[in-house]
Amino acid sequence: MNVEKIMNDLAKKNPGEVEFLQAVREVLESIVEVVEANPQFEEASIVERIVEPDRVIMFKVPWADDNGKLHVNRGFRIQFNQAIGPYKGGLRFHPSVNLSILKFLGFEQIFKNSLTSLPMGGAKGGSDFDPKGKSNTEVMRFCQSFMLELQRHIGPETDVPAGDIGVGGREIGYLYGMYKKLTREHSGVLTGKGLNWGGSLIRPEATGFGCVYFAQEMLKSKGQSLKGKVVSISGFGNVAWGAALKATELGAKVVTISGPDGYIYDKEGISGKKIEYMLDLRASNQDIVKPYSYEFGAEFHEGKRPWEVKVDVALPCATQNELSGDDAKKLVANGCICIAEGANMPSTPEAIEVFHKSKVMFAPGKASNAGGVATSGLEMSQNSMKLNWTSEEVDRRLLEIMVNIHAACVKYGTEKDGYVNYVKGANIAGFMKVANAMLDLGYVN
Ligand code: NDP
Ligand code: 2IT
């Protein structure tokens, strides 16, 4: 398998799609040996087929603000691969959203969803709509207009969207309300729903909880635990909140959170009502963490990222490419032994290289943040059965799924010297299932 040739062809076909090409390269470099050991994959051009989305849907989203002024945003849904189940993946509302970012996220989702062991294909969508500073009614009108078009392309057995950056419980409510109005159906077409209208317990916490469960498994493999460990977290959104909650519950001390304005260093630990305060910060739609320093008297480091703080464990939970090679060097120099990604692709390729060379434990998002989509899968199961599991039941299944993903990474990623390359392990384990399904199903996509 000639990775450079495939990457050159892809770069020509998708000019300027930097994030998408970054995500594809990482996967291809990991799977070379299994593709070469399985000539049937090359004969069926599985790799060339898996890097091409089944379908890219791009549409106009017109909406009126509270003053009656009309705005036009761009909406997307990338239906990447449905070999193992209906398309599944979140919706992101953020001004930085473009085709490259959603294609990278949709591509990652194929392998992540495969790792969960649940029947879900890969997809992603969203809009360049900026929720910052928008009123509730503006967000509602935008969501309704977005769904007016999206509803043609989704369905409980076709494509099941969920939340991501800028899309939480409120937005899922407005989207689902419009879907129901248009289709006259109460189906599980979205996940992350509210508890009163088909949602699952633990889904809001699931990505952060899953990430901490994964970190716990990594530490356990070295005879250690989270108890007494100092942890840095980036972001202050849904994933960061869940991760802070679970890490604290398991006896760790979380000392940082961050926003686009800088990071908070709270040496006393971010616990109890301070974690709940993160929800107020997000709900304010202001997108800054600085107010935490007034509220609780902690240090605020303007314009900086939290990776300069001395910690044992780091959980990047904000966004892509937020941890550079230099940041990785600082973490390693300060004695950090375990990095588990809560966000999607937060570490740059240079950072990953530093982690691997230093032989510290590093888990890529597609493995360590899979708890969110896995619990979405559990929400779909409950919707199909028309019953609700208890939070203990959902949490137990989530933990089991994360333990199994960790085991799959160890199985496929252990190198000769015993070091576990979780990137390689996750990519191979995720790829094998999808590739074999594509072989079984014929050359349909
Ligand atoms: P939220 O919207 O709740 O929070 C996102 C956080 O990242 C905010 O702090 C946000 O601040 C910050 N952020 C977003 N974009 C940028 C940017 N371009 N530069 C700097 N900071 C940024 O989203 P989530 O917590 O849901 O998502 C966080 C990460 O986790 C994302 O990578 C997402 O893809 C991933 N993820 C989410 C899952 C879920 O279930 N929600 C599941 C698996 C992964 P601001 O908005 O001000 O920029
Ligand atoms: O990146 C992700 O896995 C998510 N945003 C969650 C997707 C989902 O369908 O729950």
* Per-residue pLDDT tens digits for 288-326: 999 999 999 999 999 999 999 999 999 999 999 999 999
Which ligand has the minimum distance to the alpha carbon of residue 376? Answer: 2
Identify the band that residue 283 occupies on the pLDDT scale cut at 50, 70 and 90.
Answer: confident
Do 401 and 116 form a contact (C-beta atoms < 8 A)?
yes
Query: Is the beta carbon of 113 within 6 A of some atom in ligand 2?
Result: no
Rounded percentage of the chain residues whose pLDDT exceeds 90: 97
Q: How far apart are CA 237 and CA 204, in angstroms?
A: 11
Average of pLDDT values for 116-138? 96
The pLDDT assigned to 146 comes to 98
Q: Dihedral sign, CA of 222, 328, 28, 364?
A: positive
Kindly state if the Cβ of 317 falls inside 6 Å of ligand 1.
yes
243 lines ligand 1 (CB under 6 A): no
Nearest protein Cα to ligand 1, atom 2: 165
Residue 236, pLDDT > 80, answer: yes
Cα-to-chain-centroid distance, residue 374: 11
pLDDT of residue 382: 98
Question: Ligand 2: distance of its center to the CA of 164 in Å?
Answer: 6
Ligand 2 atom 4 nearest Cα:
90
Q: Which residue is closest in CA terms to ligand 2's atom 3?
A: 373
> Ligand 2: distance of its center to the CA of 191 in Å?
9
Domains, the chain, in order of start with CATH, read 1-52+424-445 (1.10.285.10), 53-197 (3.40.50.10860), 206-368 (3.40.50.720)
Mean pLDDT across 334-352: 98
Higher pLDDT, 283 or 411: 411
The answer to whether the CB of 88 is under 6 A from ligand 2 is yes
| Residues 82-113: tens digit of each pLDDT | 999 999 999 999 999 999 999 999 999 999 99
- Look at residue 178 and tell me whether its pLDDT is greater than 80: yes
- Model confidence, pTM: 0.97
Does ligand 1 lie within 6 Å of residue 113's CB atom? no
Is the pLDDT score of 285 beyond 80? no
Q: Indicate whether residue 376 lines ligand 2 (CB < 6 A).
A: yes
Confidence of residue 128 (pLDDT cuts 50, 70, 90): very high
Is 425 touching ligand 2 by the criterion CB < 6 Å? no
Overall average pLDDT of the 210-214 stretch: 98
Task: Tell me what pLDDT residue 284 has.
Answer: 81
Supply the Cα-derived Rg of the chain in whole angstroms.
21
Query: Where residue 202 falls among pLDDT bands split at 50, 70, 90?
Result: very high
pLDDT of residue 174: 98
Q: Which atom of ligand 2 is nearest to the CA of 120?
A: 9
Whether 269 and 192 have beta carbons less than 8 Å apart is answered as no
Q: How far is the CA of 383 from the centre of ligand 2 (A)?
A: 17
Q: Residue 445 above 90 pLDDT?
A: no
Residues contacting 77, CB < 8 A, separation 6+: 57, 123, 124, 125, 150, 153, 154, 159, 161
- pLDDT greater than 90 at residue 287: no
Nearest ligand 2 atom to the CA of 375 is 10
Residue 337 has pLDDT above 90, yes or no: yes
What pLDDT is recorded for position 127? Answer: 98
CA dihedral 80, 126, 158, 120 (to 10 degrees): 60
Q: CB of 164 closer than 6 A to ligand 2?
A: yes
Instruction: Output the CA 67–ligand 2 centroid distance in Å.
Output: 34
CA of 202 to the centre of ligand 2 (A): 14
372 lines ligand 2 (CB under 6 A): yes
User: For the purposes of burial, counting CB atoms within 10 Å of the CB of 392, is it exposed (0-12), middle (13-18) or buried (19 or more)?
Assistant: exposed
What average pLDDT does the chain have?
97
Q: How confident is the model at residue 158 (pLDDT cuts 50, 70, 90)?
A: very high
Centre a 10 Å sphere on the Cβ of residue 324 and count the other Cβ atoms it contains. 16
Condensed to tens digits (0 to 9), the pLDDT of residues 19-78 reads 999 999 999 999 999 999 999 999 999 999 999 999 999 999 999 999 999 999 999 999
Tell me, in angstroms, the distance from the centre of ligand 1 to residue 369's CA.
Answer: 12
Average pLDDT estimate for 352-379: 98
Q: Which atom of ligand 1 is nearest to the CA of 370?
A: 43
Catalytic residues: 124
- Cα of 212 vs centre of ligand 1, distance in Å, is 17
Region 377-387 average pLDDT: 97
Atom number of ligand 2 nearest to Cα 373: 10
Atom of ligand 1 nearest to the CA of 131: 46
Ligand nearest to the CA of 260: 1
Binding site membership of 124 for ligand 2 (Cβ less than 6 Å): no
pLDDT at residue number 132: 87
Give the angle 312-297-253 at the CA atoms, nearest 5°. 20
Looking at residue 50, what is its pLDDT? 98
263 burial (CB, 10 Å; 0-12 / 13-18 / 19+) is buried
Give the span between the Cα atoms of 346 and 365, in whole angstroms: 8
Q: Stretch 115-144: mean pLDDT, rounded?
A: 96
Q: How confident is the model at residue 363 (pLDDT cuts 50, 70, 90)?
A: very high
Residue 404 pLDDT > 90: yes
- Tell me which residue of 344, 346, 339 sits closest to 372, measured CA to CA: 344
